Amino acid sequence: MTTDVLKERHRRWEVRQRTGARKETDMLIQKDVVILSIESSCDETAAAVTVNGRQVLSNEISSQIDIHTLYGGVVPEIASRKHIERMNQVIREAMRTAGKTFCDLDAVAVTAGPGLVGALLTGISEAKAVAFASGLPLIGVHHIEGHISANYIADKTLEPPFACLVVSGGHTNLVRVKGYGEYELLGTTRDDAAGEAFDKVARAIGLGYPGGPKIDRAAKDGNPEAIRFPRGKVEGSEFDFSFSGIKSSVLNYLNTCDMKGEKVDVNDVAASFQEAVVDVLVDHTMAAARLCGLDRIALAGGVASNSALRGRMKAACERENIAFFCPPPVLCTDNAAMIGCAAYYEFLKGRESGLDLNAVPGLKLGESLYGTEAGA
Ligand code: KG4
Ligand code: ZN
């Protein structure tokens, strides 16, 4: 990076620190907005370079699945250590693939929550270091907003408003996307997240970790009507979810088979469990879209890779003349391109995090990292 560029960036940084916000002119002179984004909220170390939010120049993901598989699930301490080991290399690769230098960047974005606190902090510290050294604005990003934004990358025509079902290992949210960065939470889980239920049931039937993809695969050889597992309902709350009942019901079924000495057909259990979960997810989402008068539905999060969920939601949308959007699997599971996309819309609103940005492990959808006033 040339000294002149760095000097000019630090001059602007000081102005922004004094005035509290980026000057409009600062933004207007930008033609293309190039963002380096970092994601490390769970067990993927990821970095991406995006242009104007929706164009992905690189999307590097280093998965830690192999090591966590040895323990049957994500071990937070190991996740943090692996992020530290791999982060520099992943960023270097993202910049190299994109053909960009730090001089070409307009901002550095990073997931600030929700997620595992130690894992989040590794990405945040790295992003702060790059932002400070390069004199670039730092943009903290909400992980769930990132998942939703993956849809903007997958389909360049998609614009709010739409309904979005966010289903991952840590979250189950039914969201009304009112505008860029504007969300109304319509429903959430009262207990386990959808992906968590997949992972726990997979472990119980001996498929191991990570459960979701393994149940998806096993279900293809099973009968979804073999066992009738309950469709979880939450009294008095039309759009909320509950998956602990389905999970307990699977465990009871396995115990009963064991006591009776009956053989368990793993594929049938996987298919019947998946059918019960997908039934509820599709029913709630369609009902929410109908109630809100939305003619677009999108899926997001790791569980959005599930073939039955994608197929059933698409068919339901076709029946009701609703447009259906779903990112490819690589943009459903944790990645940094989705963080870059969400950051772009924050950038356009003039939002910037301070170097005191902290991890917010329990950040909920609808809660902002920027308080209520900034750019609102
Ligand atoms: O979004 P993600 O990568 O991380 C979180 O933010 O949680 O989601 C991971 C979750 C895991 O629970 C995994 O089992 C689930 O997504 N998952 C699936 C499939 N692929 C990943 N669940 C069902 N079917 C799949 N094909
Ligand atoms: Zn995620």
CATH number at residue 338: 3.30.420.40
- The tokens for 313 are 């939601």
Residue 375 lies in a domain: no
DSSP 61-129: EEE-HHHHHTTTS--HHHHHHHHHHHHHHHHHHHHHHHT--GGG-SEEEEEEESS-HHHHHHHHHHHHH
- The tokens for 335 are 């990645």
Looking at the fold, whether 8 and 86 belong to one and the same domain comes out as yes
DSSP 327-363: --HHHHSS-SHHHHHHHHHHHHTT--B-TT----TTP
Ligand nearest to the CA of 202: 1
Q: If you ran DSSP here, which 8-state letter would residue 191 be given?
A: S
Residue 370 lies in a domain: no
Whole-angstrom distance, CA of residue 220 vs CA of residue 320: 26
Quote the percentage of the chain above a pLDDT of 70. 95
Residue 373 lies in a domain: no
Residue 373, pLDDT score: 47
**Residue 53, Ramachandran bin (φ over 0: left; ψ between -120 and 50: alpha; else beta):** left
Looking at the fold, whether 182 and 239 belong to one and the same domain comes out as yes
- Look at ligand 1, atom 8, and give the residue with the nearest C-alpha: 302
pLDDT at 260 over 80: yes
Residue 372, pLDDT score: 62
The answer to which of 19-28, 139-148, 300-309, 340-349 has the lowest mean pLDDT is: 19-28
Looking at the fold, whether 187 and 276 belong to one and the same domain comes out as yes
Cis peptide bond prior to 114, omega within 30° of 0: yes
Alpha carbon 82 to chain centroid, angstroms: 20
Residue 10 lies in a domain: yes
Exposed, middle or buried, 302 (CB in 10 Å: 0-12/13-18/19+)? buried
Looking at the fold, whether 140 and 173 belong to one and the same domain comes out as no
Are the CB atoms for 296 and 158 separated by under 8 Å? yes
Looking at the fold, whether 129 and 178 belong to one and the same domain comes out as no
User: What is the CA(301)–ligand 1 centre distance, in A?
Assistant: 7
Strand ranges, E, within the chain: 34-39, 44-51, 55-63, 107-113, 138-142, 162-167, 172-179, 182-188, 296-300, 323-325
Quote the percentage of the chain above a pLDDT of 90. 84
Looking at the fold, whether 129 and 216 belong to one and the same domain comes out as no
Paired strand residues for 102? none
Looking at the fold, whether 133 and 258 belong to one and the same domain comes out as no
Looking at the fold, whether 277 and 128 belong to one and the same domain comes out as no
Looking at the fold, whether 134 and 208 belong to one and the same domain comes out as no
Q: Which atom number of ligand 1 is nearest to the Cα of residue 199?
A: 14
Domain range spanning residue 91?
3-149+333-348
Whole-angstrom distance, CA of residue 30 vs CA of residue 75: 42
Whole-angstrom distance, CA of residue 28 vs CA of residue 348: 10
**For 155, phi and psi rounded to 5 degrees?**
-130, 110
pLDDT at 19 over 80: no
Residue 376, pLDDT score: 35
Q: What is the pLDDT of residues 38-85, one digit of tens each?
A: 999 999 999 999 999 999 999 999 999 889 988 888 899 999 999 999
Residue 4, pLDDT score: 80
User: What is the CA(314)–ligand 2 centre distance, in A?
Assistant: 22
Paired strand residues for 300? 166
Residue 23, pLDDT score: 56
User: What is the CA(147)–ligand 1 centre distance, in A?
Assistant: 12
The answer to which of 16-25, 180-189, 244-253 has the lowest mean pLDDT is: 16-25
The answer to which of 8-12, 96-100, 207-211, 216-220 has the lowest mean pLDDT is: 8-12
Amino acid at 10: H
- Vertex 179: Cα angle to 175 and 180 (nearest 5): 100
User: What is the CA(291)–ligand 1 centre distance, in A?
Assistant: 28
Q: What is the mean pLDDT of residues 141-170?
A: 97
**For 250, phi and psi rounded to 5 degrees?**
-65, -45
Q: What is the mean pLDDT of residues 248-266?
A: 96
Q: From residue 182, give the alpha-carbon distance in Å to each of 175, 224, 341.
A: 10, 37, 14
Looking at the fold, whether 29 and 121 belong to one and the same domain comes out as yes
Amino acid at 313: M
**Ligand 1 surroundings by CB, under 6 angstroms:** 42, 168-170, 195, 198-199, 210-213, 216, 301-303, 305-306, 333-334
Quote the mean pLDDT of the chain: 93
Q: What is the mean pLDDT of residues 208-214?
A: 91
Looking at the fold, whether 265 and 224 belong to one and the same domain comes out as yes
Amino acid at 66: D
Residue 90, pLDDT score: 98
Residue 115 lies in a domain: yes
Residue 57, pLDDT score: 98
Residue 118, pLDDT score: 97
For the chain, how many structural domains are there in total?
2
Per the document, the length of the chain is 376
Q: What is the mean pLDDT of residues 113-138?
A: 97
pLDDT at 132 over 80: yes
Looking at the fold, whether 139 and 190 belong to one and the same domain comes out as no
Q: Radius of gyration over alpha carbons of the chain, in Å?
A: 22
Q: Supply the pTM of this predicted model.
A: 0.93
Residue 79 lies in a domain: yes
- Vertex 291: Cα angle to 287 and 292 (nearest 5): 120
